[in-house]
Amino acid sequence: MYIMSNPYKIRSAKIGNNGGFRLPGEFYREYPQFANASGWIEVLSPDTAIIKIIPESVDEPEEDDSLMMRLFLDFATTEALKNNNLQPYTTEMSDAAHKLIEGVELDDDLSD
Q: What is the mean pLDDT of the chain?
A: 80
HSE-CB at 20 with a 13 A cutoff on CA atoms is 10
- The predicted model scores a pTM of 0.45
Evaluate if residue 96 carries a pLDDT over 90.
yes
Which is more confident, 99 or 60? Answer: 99
Q: What is the mean pLDDT of residues 8-27?
A: 87
C-alpha–C-alpha distance, residues 86 and 16, integer Å? 43
pLDDT computed for residue 99 by the predictor: 94
